[in-house]
Structure 1
């Protein structure tokens, strides 16, 4: 599928609008939604014993799932963080234990050092800027998660990719093109939900 003229500009404008809207959500509302998101992930994923989960370091108002990940580790999961190793390449997943010393990566996002073990996760949590009904993800525009999903699938690795975010990030379409790859599942929590 070829990209329709004007799509890149539209995506850039939508990306900015959605990031600003996410950052405007009050911290208390995000924290409450993050707890609901953790419960939904537990129900969706099930037993984590012996599985490797890649989360992410929260950035620009993304859901903070670090406490949930630590609880998964207590239940027998291993954890990893994604690392940008080069432009226009798939992400690398490095083993991470809460409390480990981290370095600054791209956009100053904390990452495990080069000496960390590289792993192939069973579950990949992918933060979304926007997400449409077909589980296509609008991200930050670098294409890292799409390249990563493609590489995982081409290698035969059966990682389950789950998009996570807030319901306000739901879109009718991201106007997907040939390089966009849908998430296997998605969990979006409404930050205005009183429950």
Structure 2
């Protein structure tokens, strides 16, 4: 499927499947449950921020983010031959597909994330603007099974919320965290978010893996310096 729609890419919706989920590695189960309850409430609030923008507002935000992100990507090696993993937008997420299409035209190899195994790291399949799109887990559009598998040099992930330490609040499935923890070498990870979705902290837990940078409609909002 192509064009605008209501689908999204990040397959991170396990919290909707199991709303009582909490990190079993947490030192204090009560504290972990408190954080899980807080995060569920924040996800509802932050998702409403997107909806309040309306279609035209989301389009303006998407265009502004794409402009800033394009410049940022160029400075971080997104050139011919590089592999960049984007996402298919759903639920009001910024739509960066026009930027991904431009990267494709520049001979950057573009991929989208796919859940091939539940509760496991994501895999990435090559995407081109005119390719046939299949339906993956949670009905999310993904490249078909025969598409080339890629390992990204740069990974772009949508965020519901974010903090100044570049930790990302997603839908709660933990797929991007598992993926970044498993990939070696690790790709340069960029979170995409609304500026208004910044939080003082997401109360990071043992399983949380920070992004390397956050980009919003206002530009680069945060970047880690110890990304080695």
How high is the TM-score relative to the length of structure 1? 0.91
User: Are residue 160 (structure 1) and residue 188 (structure 2) matched?
Assistant: yes
User: Are residue 57 (structure 1) and residue 88 (structure 2) matched?
Assistant: yes
User: Are residue 42 (structure 1) and residue 70 (structure 2) matched?
Assistant: yes
Aligned to 1:127: 158
Q: How far does residue 84 in structure 1 lie from its aligned partner after superposition?
A: 1.1
Q: How far does residue 162 in structure 1 lie from its aligned partner after superposition?
A: 0.1
Q: How far does residue 181 in structure 1 lie from its aligned partner after superposition?
A: 0.6
Q: How many residues align?
A: 187
SS at match of 2:199: coil
Distance 2:120 2:134 in 1: 20
User: Are residue 189 (structure 1) and residue 217 (structure 2) matched?
Assistant: yes
Q: 1:97 aligns with which of 98, 123, 128?
A: 128
User: Are residue 2 (structure 1) and residue 27 (structure 2) matched?
Assistant: yes
Q: Unaligned 5+ residue runs, structure 1?
A: 191-195
Q: How far does residue 91 in structure 1 lie from its aligned partner after superposition?
A: 0.5
Q: How far does residue 44 in structure 1 lie from its aligned partner after superposition?
A: 1.1
Q: Unaligned 5+ residue runs, structure 2?
A: 1-25, 219-228
Moved over 3 A (4+): none
SS at match of 1:6: helix
> Could you say what the CA RMSD is over the residues aligned between the two structures, in angstroms?
1.4
Native 8 Å contact 1:2 1:177 kept in 2: no
Q: How far does residue 2 in structure 1 lie from its aligned partner after superposition?
A: 3.4
CA deviation map 1:127-186 (0-9, x unaligned): 00110110100111100000011111xx2x241100002112111111101110100011
Aligned to 1:193: none
- Matches for 1:58-73 after TM superposition, within 5 Å: 58-73=89-104
User: Are residue 19 (structure 1) and residue 44 (structure 2) matched?
Assistant: no
Distance 1:60 1:185 in 2: 22
